[in-house]
Amino acid sequence: MNVCVSPNQLYARLTSRQIASTPKSLAALRADLKPTRILQSQRRRFSGPVFQRHHFPVSKRSIRTMATEVPKAEYRQLGKSGLRVSVPILGAMSIGDKRWQKWVIEEDEALPLLKAAYDRGLNTWDTANVYSNGASEEIIGKAIKKYNIPRHKLVICTKCCGTVREGNSPEVLALQDIDKTVDYVNQRGLSRQAIFAAVNASLARLDTLYIDLLQIHRFDKTVPIEETMKALHDLVESGKVHYIGASSMWAYQFATMQFCAEKNGWTKFVSMQNVYNLLYREEEREMNKFCLETGVGLIPWGPLSQGQLARPHHVSGSTERSTGKPAVPEADVKIITHVEELAKKKDWKMSHVALAWLAHKGVSSPICGFSNVARMDEALEARGKELTEEDVKYLEDGYLPKTVFGHG
């Protein structure tokens, strides 16, 4: 019958006896009597079921049970901040109410999609108060509650600046009408009043106590920069917001806001969400250079140019958002063809080439919207794929400057 003796008990018994003189050194004797050394010897000596069950759960099944499943998503530092975000970031502009935009997926489809994202380690979700007039934020809040997702395991990013229409109507308000009504006069822009109101409303829709990353959606030239930056700083100090970022604007506007915060000892932006992809590289002239030089993380929207970089140029898009687009310029056709050729050469998906190019250019994480799990998995499969300098030069060959768009 096998007797189960713990390593510490065996160690005590052996050390209490007189040890016979042997050629071994004192250090070697002490090493032999260490619990870890005894454990190794006892594995060989005791093979009984009692001893194995209580002391050595080494079956393959046990090891599989104890191991943590490796997520498909990877995580990167957001610029020089301490915040880590998933790659890619899930873009929730496509989640909400079809009355807002026809290509939006509604709650019944969106909830399981968000669960699938979390299960794959894609834990960073980007939304905005204006997406589907708040419905996007509400669905994210419902997903967290429905699937019992621990709040601290998610990175929720939202935005303020635009106006959310009151009531259940998804219609977008005309900007020229907003300032003329008592209901919306202080509910848009980047004044202290508007920012605080927007954050409180977003917290209610998300059903959460804090926002991980609050981004200003556009620059507001009607409000003093000091007022905006102090309001954002106070939100961070209050705990309602952990980090702040900005979205599409001119580089001089962004730099001015950063310098204002630095001068006054206030919280600075840690991220810039601008449009950036192989077909639109205008941000390389100023914004991207400034951000990379100062440690601001780049989290671009439109990384695949609404699917143009994910399929041959002669193939129509399969989603409502990608159909009905104007003719593709000849210069863009050349770049798309290069993406297709390089993808075939490397046996990659075209989207993987486009996403790998962004990583090569210093992007922290691209924001990708998904209409189904298959597209999500395709984006996640780009993990670890890298391009050479020669590949990058080939992809960029033929690019022609474009008119700047996306700025407020």
CATH of the domain at 238: 3.20.20.100
Residue 49 lies in a domain: yes
pLDDT, one tens digit per residue, over 175-215 is 556 667 888 888 899 999 999 999 999 999 999 999 999 99
What is the rounded average pLDDT for all residues in the chain? 86
pLDDT, one tens digit per residue, over 293-306 is 999 999 999 999 99
Same-domain check for residues 152 and 31: no
pLDDT over 80 at 92, yes or no? yes
Helix (H) or strand (E) holding 125: strand 124-126
Same-domain check for residues 14 and 149: no
Same-domain check for residues 38 and 110: no
Residue 349 lies in a domain: no
Q: Which of 7-16, 86-95, 205-214, 354-363 has the lowest mean pLDDT?
A: 7-16
Same-domain check for residues 61 and 182: no
Same-domain check for residues 62 and 192: no
First vs last C-alpha separation in the chain: 81
- Tell which wins on pLDDT, 380 or 14: 380
- What is the full DSSP assignment across 145-161? HHTT--GGG-EEEEEES
Strands (E) located in 201-249: 211-216, 241-247
- Residues known to be catalytic: 131
- What global pTM score does this model have? 0.81
Query: Which among 197, 274, 273 has a CA at the least distance from the CA of 240?
Result: 197
Q: Which of 38-52, 109-123, 178-192, 321-335 has the lowest mean pLDDT?
A: 38-52
Domain boundary among 241, 275, 303: 303
Same-domain check for residues 39 and 93: no
Q: Which domain holds residue 110?
A: 76-303
Domain boundary among 254, 277, 303: 303
Contacts of 162 (CB under 8 A, 6+ apart): 128, 129, 130, 188, 217, 218
The number of domains in the chain is 2
- Tell me the C-alpha distance between 408 and 109, whole Å: 32
Query: Token pair of 338, please?
Result: 């290069």
Residue 244 lies in a domain: yes
Same-domain check for residues 135 and 211: yes
Same-domain check for residues 94 and 38: no
Same-domain check for residues 88 and 131: yes
Phi and psi torsions of 87, nearest 5°: -120, 115
Same-domain check for residues 114 and 243: yes
Same-domain check for residues 53 and 118: no
Domain boundary among 235, 269, 303: 303
- What's the distance, CA 55 to chain centroid? 41
Same-domain check for residues 239 and 117: yes
Q: Is 265 left (phi over 0), alpha (psi -120 to 50) or beta?
A: left
Query: Token pair of 57, please?
Result: 């759960």
Torsional sign, CA 47, 51, 52, 57? negative
- Tell me the C-alpha distance between 133 and 129, whole Å: 7
Torsional sign, CA 317, 321, 324, 329? negative
